[in-house]
Structure 1
Amino acid sequence: MIVALLKKSAIFCNLSQKATRMVNIFTGPARKRWSPLMITLATLFVLGAFYFSATMLDRQISTTLTNWPPQIVFWFEQLTRLGESDWILIPTLSIWVAGQSVSLLPIGYRFKWRFRTFGAGAGFIFCAVAVPGLISALFKRGLGRARPVHMDELGTLHFEPHWGDWTFQSFPSGHATTSFALATAIFLVAGRWGALAYVGAVLIALSRIVDGVHYFSDVVAGTFLGVLGALWVYRFYRDRRWGFVPQNSTHRLRWGVPFRV
């Protein structure tokens, strides 16, 4: 059993290292800008993938998952609450403010930097979740895609902006955006074992389909938005050395403090 566990741990570490290399692609030094042709092709690819999912996959996947056994559906209904941004943003903002405030007190250099480091880490997680979450909220209200509750009536490709009607705020999934942004932030701060947070993110994203409030394409869009948004915040912090400093000549980063904590 011990040997099997060690093998599984080695496999996970290998996957985490590959994920880290993928992160470095997005967070490394700036590369040559995309040409207008590449941007156009990428946009057409994204639109084509969305159309394919909306017309060929969304209805079938929603119908299948919402008809899972009641016990499983109930479990996902409880799990989906963890994807709400309030329980993430309010504590991290409070810790961020408290950490910076306490560091101003005459409590000694070492304790001061401990509080500042902890508070700054919470501040990074707050921004990494809040920025893509805000973008998601604006998009879903501006686009006005009808949720699955209107599927039989309006289909899967009905767009009608209703800023005050949640049933027309389906694309992208805010819960998927929040959960994957948080998982990415934890992975970037905690290292390879922080990748375990993605397990929870996948389950939360899946719960939105099981609960019948989002389509598959909504969840996929929220996933990409959450990951890329958190990586953008990470790079923004790194370029300004706000807590993160380069480590050797690689793109791997560590939390920047004047001593080990």
Structure 2
Amino acid sequence: MPADVAHRSGYGAQLLLLSGRALTQLVRAPSHSRRAEAARRLARHSLWLSAAGAAVIIALMLAFDMSEIQMMPARGTPGLWPIKILTDFGKDEYVLTALAAALVTVALIAAGRHGTSRALLLGFGTRLQFIFLSVLFSVLVAEILKFVIGRGRPFVGGKADPFNFIPFNGTEAHYSLPSAHAVTAFALAFAVGALWPRLRVFMFTYAIVIALTRLVLLAHHPSDVVAGALVGIVGAMAMRYWFAARRLGFAIRSDGAIVALPGPVFARLKRVARGASAP
């Protein structure tokens, strides 16, 4: 749409235009010249992470899952109410709803703006899209794995049996592996950390705390939360590649490493600072 037509069109048309462009940029063909190097690097890192994660998961099942859940307080213990509140900060429905609300808010505001302010909002919106889709994609993969694996939650069946599997069971009692809370928390932590590296320590601390709440509440075995962390991280890594291959929020270096582009606000501040320091 020509710029003058877009400028004259009403708010509703602007909102539709921005929403359409936001969706189109996600499904367009990848164009980055170094995407093949990035794909190979992603495959290599995903393979190593998956192999190491699988080894840890098996070791936990064999040597630690049963003893750990026997050390936890009984379900329904009154003193666990703060843990029950805390664990909800990793619930996929809540996290995805909050991210979706933020995306809608950015779109609603951007539709009424023009020029630099709109560009800044849209740049931030692209980063929100990445975070939202990283969590959503990881959660969808986890739901498939839960159904296929069918692992019983701690003490389902009346005893501490870490090998209580009924594949394709489809019931909540046998939806233990991987932990959806851990998937959500670690996908969110990786995605936010990929965009803003200074937040990595804070975000991964949050993810570990969420994972621990699932153990204390006897919702999962230790191997479940490790599997959830693995799915969340690898899922967010895959989404980062998807965005980088389309030149959205990330750049690909010559060695295939993917790095975040400076956010639009920070990029603008740097340009202003350089202009102010020029003689």
Alignment TM class, shorter chain as reference:
0.7 to 0.9
Of 26, 29, 50, the residue aligned with 2:57 is 50
Residue type of the alignment partner of 2:236: A
Q: For residue 43 of structure 1, report the CA deviation from its aligned partner.
A: 7.5
Question: Residue deviations 1:102-154, cap 9 Å, x none?
Answer: 4444x321111122122222111100111111111111122110100326447
Distance 1:170 1:142 in 2: 11
Output the aligned Cα RMSD: 3.3
Residue 126 of structure 1 aligns to a residue whose secondary structure is: helix
Q: For residue 186 of structure 1, report the CA deviation from its aligned partner.
A: 1.2
TM-score under structure 1 normalisation? 0.75
| Structure 1 position 78 matched with structure 2 position 85 | yes
Unaligned runs of 5+ in 2: 1-35, 270-279
Question: Residue deviations 1:230-254, cap 9 Å, x none?
Answer: 1111121111112323589974322
> In structure 1, what is the equivalent of residue 18 of structure 2?
none
> In structure 1, what is the equivalent of residue 38 of structure 2?
29
Q: For residue 211 of structure 1, report the CA deviation from its aligned partner.
A: 0.2
| Structure 1 position 142 matched with structure 2 position 148 | yes
* CA shift in 2, pair 1:129/1:53, >3 Å: same
Residue 261 of structure 2 aligns to a residue whose secondary structure is: strand
> In structure 2, what is the equivalent of residue 10 of structure 1?
none
Runs of at least 4 residues of structure 1 off by over 6 A? 32-35, 41-45, 247-250
Percent identical pairs in the alignment equals 24
Residue 162 of structure 2 aligns to a residue whose secondary structure is: coil
* CA shift in 2, pair 1:99/1:247, >3 Å: farther
Q: For residue 101 of structure 1, report the CA deviation from its aligned partner.
A: 5.3
Q: For residue 42 of structure 1, report the CA deviation from its aligned partner.
A: 8.9
Question: Residue deviations 1:146-198, cap 9 Å, x none?
Answer: 100326447211111321x2111000000000001111111111222343111
> In structure 1, what is the equivalent of residue 100 of structure 2?
93
Query: Which structure: larger Rg?
Result: 2
Distance 2:124 2:79 in 1: 38
Q: For residue 90 of structure 1, report the CA deviation from its aligned partner.
A: 1.7
| Structure 1 position 224 matched with structure 2 position 230 | yes
Distance 2:60 2:232 in 1: 19
| Structure 1 position 260 matched with structure 2 position 268 | yes
* CA shift in 2, pair 1:64/1:28, >3 Å: farther
Residue 245 of structure 1 aligns to a residue whose secondary structure is: strand
Asked whether the 8 Å contact 1:147–1:213 carries over to 2, the reply is yes
Asked whether the 8 Å contact 2:84–2:217 carries over to 1, the reply is yes
Query: Which structure has more RCO (C-alpha within 8 Å, separation ≥ 6)?
Result: 2
Residue 141 of structure 1 aligns to a residue whose secondary structure is: helix
Distance 2:51 2:127 in 1: 38
5 Å-filtered alignment, 1:42-191, equals: 49-66=56-73, 73-100=80-107, 102-105=109-112, 107-150=113-156, 152-153=158-159, 155-160=161-166, 161-163=168-170, 165-191=171-197
